[in-house]
A and B are shown apart, each in its own frame.
Chain A
Amino acid sequence: MQDRTNHALWAGPLLALFGFLSYYTIFYQWPALRDIPWLNLLLLIASVAICWKGFSQAKQHGGWRRIAGGAGLTLSTALTALLTYYCFSLSYGLPNATTAIQVGDYVPEITLQSHLGADTLLSGSERTLLVFYRGHW
Chain B
Amino acid sequence: MSELQGLQSRISDFEAQGIQLIAISPDSVEQNRQVAEWLDLDFPILSDSMLTATDAFRLRHADAAPGGGDLPRPATYIIESGRIVWRDLTDNWRVRPRPDQLLAAIAQLES
Contact = CB atoms under 8 A, between A and B. Distances in A.
Interface of A: 28-31, 34-35, 87, 91-95, 97, 99-108, 110, 112-118, 120, 122-123, 125-137
Interface of B: 1-7, 14, 17-27, 29, 31-33, 35-36, 44-48, 52-54, 56-62, 64-66, 71-87, 89-96, 98, 102, 106
Contacts of B79: 107, 122-123, 125, 127-130
In the A-B complex, the 3 residue pairs with the closest CB atoms: A115-B32, A108-B56, A114-B44
Given A94-B61, A122-B53, A136-B25, A106 B94 contact: no
B49 to A, nearest CB: 9
Nearest to B73: A94
Nearest to B66: A137
A136 B85 CA distance: 28
Given A110-B53, A137-B66, 10 more contacts: A100-B75, A104-B83, A104-B84, A112-B53, A114-B46, A115-B44, A126-B18, A132-B76, A133-B74, A136-B27
